[in-house]
């Protein structure tokens, strides 16, 4: 039995560890990757293959205090219209470089709040994407929807454009918590958004909620989960609230003395986790839940769960192309990130070139370590056979790596001929265990707290 004391000693309550949506993590990107590299990596996509596409819309009508996402507030549509024009030009650039016959396995609109686009702007983006690459069979088109910022007309456009997965931001239903985190959102507003989404036949509903919020208690998170379950979402992301006011200045509005202690955070997560389990949801990786027939649950069962910048996915494409300010792309050759500032991004695209400003070209043992970390984050195990076959690493070298990790974690890990396994009681430590396979300077690796 692992105790709280032991979890604390092993770094759970004070470590700053990345969420490992990439390896190496974004703080390790450098200016070694240029717009020319990005263009050549796109050109290397096999003809007739599939890619995933992410479009970033970094605008919100109101800025929630808790939010750590890169986004800017706007009261008018002017800046958004001009940004979408740039996005359309960037899509034209992509089209010019993308080999023939490439199809989309996934299209995701994220932000910020993509649903603040007017119906006309949404349609323009949908049409342009279709010109660049059509959807592949069984493709998914998902959109992040703020229930406060959606209406029937916009949902009509999205549904007609093929949206088959809607992702709504809930955070918490409790009014005191909502007031403290600067995100008022009446239960009826969320319920109406869900009804409108369902009425349009959108096949799948995702929801984001948070644990570790100010004033959150076991009773309050129980109520939030129960209300959420009444919507029967297909997937839920239960993220740990990352309080990083030195980075996200808006969070200075949130009184830190109202935040739960690290031990209480663990308890809040566990309370919500049990409720989802009782309701028949499968636990996916470190912070997701899905109905047994959802793609994520099936991918997990069949060992095909993957992790990318959007979190857990069942997408099997090797290429994820991110467009828009600050977006990150992933290729078999490495990562490429667009300029984070909207001004620099716009200037580059208006001059007719890609806006890549940083990235990382894979070298050394990056791919091997990336896969090991992905396996831990997805399956809580590293399968040696796959690594030996795909990366030519020797069983002895793997064993040595596993033993070093196990020493660091006081023998809590299981090591067998098949590989390394994190037993359920040690899973709160998963990100820390993954970090022990990270070869980069750990002081730069991440910024969000371990739980
Ligand atoms: C980029 S936001 C977009 C959602 C959409 N704009 C909305 O408000 O509904 C996606 C999700 O990131 C999560 N998020 C934002 N700030 C966070 C923080 N400080 N810690 C943990 N998760 C956070 C929230 O759960 C949010 O729903
Ligand atoms: S939570 Fe959504 S609406 Fe609120 S600031 Fe973040 S991205 Fe914008």
Alpha helices per DSSP H over 381-443: 384-391, 395-408, 430-435
Exposure on the CB side of residue 213, measured as CA atoms within 13 A = 28
Which tokens hold the place of 296?
A: 């994520």
**pLDDT-based confidence at residue 450 (cuts at 50, 70, 90):** very low
Nearest atom (ligand 1) to Cα of 448: 20
pTM of the model: 0.96
Q: How far is CA 207 from the centre of its chain?
A: 13
Nearest atom (ligand 1) to Cα of 169: 9
260 pocket-lining for ligand 2 (C-beta < 6 Å): no
Which residues are bridge partners to 236 per DSSP?
207, 289
What's the confidence (pLDDT) of residue 11?
A: 80
208 pocket-lining for ligand 1 (C-beta < 6 Å): yes
Q: How many other CB atoms are found less than 10 A from the CB of residue 286?
A: 24
When pLDDT is averaged across residues 393-417 and rounded to a whole number, the result is: 96
Angle of helix 35-43 versus helix 78-97 axis, rounded to 10: 50
Give per-residue pLDDT as tens, 199-231.
Answer: 999 989 999 999 999 999 999 999 999 999 999
Q: How far is CA 264 from the centre of its chain?
A: 24
What's the 64 CA to ligand 2 centre distance in angstroms?
6
What's the confidence (pLDDT) of residue 451?
A: 46
Q: Is the pLDDT score of 303 beyond 50?
A: yes
- Rounded Cα distance between 267 and 217, Å, is 9
Give per-residue pLDDT as tens, 64-114.
Answer: 999 999 899 999 999 999 999 999 999 999 999 999 999 999 999 999 999
- Rounded Cα distance between 115 and 111, Å, is 9
State the DSSP H helix or E strand holding residue 55, giving kind and residue range, or none if neither: strand 50-57
Q: Classify 41 as helix, strand or coil.
A: helix
- Rounded Cα distance between 305 and 296, Å, is 7
* Nearest-ligand number for the alpha carbon of 71: 2
58 pocket-lining for ligand 2 (C-beta < 6 Å): no
What's the confidence (pLDDT) of residue 3?
A: 85
When pLDDT is averaged across residues 147-172 and rounded to a whole number, the result is: 98
Residue 110 to residues 54, 309, 407, Cα–Cα distance (Å)? 7, 11, 40
Percent of the chain at pLDDT exceeding 70: 97
- Rounded Cα distance between 421 and 381, Å, is 4
Torsion over CA of 80, 86, 92 and 94, rounded to 10 degrees? Answer: -100
Residues 133, 126 contacting (CB under 8 angstroms): no
What's the 70 CA to ligand 1 centre distance in angstroms?
10
DSSP symbols for 285-306: TTTEEE-TTSHHHHHHHTT--E
What's the 112 CA to ligand 2 centre distance in angstroms?
6
- Rounded Cα distance between 46 and 100, Å, is 9
Nearest atom (ligand 2) to Cα of 60: 8
189 pocket-lining for ligand 1 (C-beta < 6 Å): no
The conformation of residue 123, written as its DSSP 8-state character, comes to H
59 pocket-lining for ligand 1 (C-beta < 6 Å): no
**Rg, C-alpha atoms of the chain:** 21
144 pocket-lining for ligand 2 (C-beta < 6 Å): no
Nearest atom (ligand 1) to Cα of 210: 25
Residue 146 to residues 41, 57, 59, 77, 243, Cα–Cα distance (Å)? 34, 13, 12, 17, 21
Residues 259, 212 contacting (CB under 8 angstroms): yes
Instruction: Pick from 66, 165, 208 the residue to mutate for probing ligand 1's pocket: most ligand atoms within 8 Å of its CB.
Output: 208
Q: Is the pLDDT score of 294 beyond 80?
A: yes
């Amino acid at each position: 039995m692992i105790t709280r004391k032991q979890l604390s000693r092993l770094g759970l309550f004070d470590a700053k560890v990345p969420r490992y949506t990439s390896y190496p993590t974004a703080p390790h990107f450098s200016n070694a990757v240029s717009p020319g590299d990005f263009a050549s990596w796109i050109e290397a996509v096999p003809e007739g293959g599939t890619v995933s596409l992410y479009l970033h819309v970094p605008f919100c009508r109101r800025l929630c205090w808790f939010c750590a996402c890169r986004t800017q507030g706007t009261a008018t549509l002017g800046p958004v219209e001009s940004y979408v024009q740039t996005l359309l030009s960037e899509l034209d650039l992509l089209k010019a470089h993308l080999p023939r016959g490439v199809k989309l396995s996934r299209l995701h609109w994220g932000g910020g709040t993509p649903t603040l686009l007017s119906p006309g702007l949404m349609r323009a983006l949908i049409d342009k994407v279709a010109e660049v690459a059509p959807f592949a069979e069984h493709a998914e088109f998902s959109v992040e929807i703020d229930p406060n910022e959606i209406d029937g007309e916009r949902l009509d456009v999205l549904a007609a454009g093929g949206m088959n997965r809607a992702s709504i931001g809930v955070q918490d239903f409790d009014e005191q918590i909502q007031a403290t985190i600067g995100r008022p959102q009446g239960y009826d507003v969320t319920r109406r958004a869900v009804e409108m989404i369902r009425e349009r036949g959108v096949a799948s509903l995702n929801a984001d909620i948070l644990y570790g919020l100010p004033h959150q208690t076991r009773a309050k998170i129980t109520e939030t989960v129960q209300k959420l379950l009444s919507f029967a979402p297909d997937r839920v992301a239960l993220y740990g609230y990352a309080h990083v006011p030195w980075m996200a200045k808006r969070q200075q509005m949130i009184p830190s003395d109202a935040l739960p202690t690290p031990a209480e955070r663990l308890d809040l997560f566990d309370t919500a986790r049990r409720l989802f389990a009782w309701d028949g949801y499968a636990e996916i990786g470190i912070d997701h839940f899905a109905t047994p027939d959802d793609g994520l649950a099936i991918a997990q069962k069949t060992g095909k769960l993957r992790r990318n910048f959007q979190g857990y996915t069942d997408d099997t494409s090797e290429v994820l192309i991110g467009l828009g300010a600050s977006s990150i792309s992933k290729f078999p050759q490495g990562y490429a990130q667009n300029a984070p500032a909207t001004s620099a991004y716009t200037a580059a695209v208006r001059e007719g070139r890609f806006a890549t400003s940083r990235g990382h070209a894979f070298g050394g043992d990056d791919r091997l370590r990336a896969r090991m970390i992905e396996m831990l984050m997805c399956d809580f195990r590293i399968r040696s056979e796959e690594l030996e076959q795909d990366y030519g690493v020797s069983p002895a070298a793997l064993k040595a790596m596993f033993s070093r990790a196990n020493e660091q974690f006081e023998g809590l890990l299981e090591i067998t001929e098949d590989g390394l396994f994190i037993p359920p009681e040690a899973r709160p430590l998963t990100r820390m265990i993954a970090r022990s396979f990270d070869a980069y300077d750990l002081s730069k690796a991440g910024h969000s707290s371990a739980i």
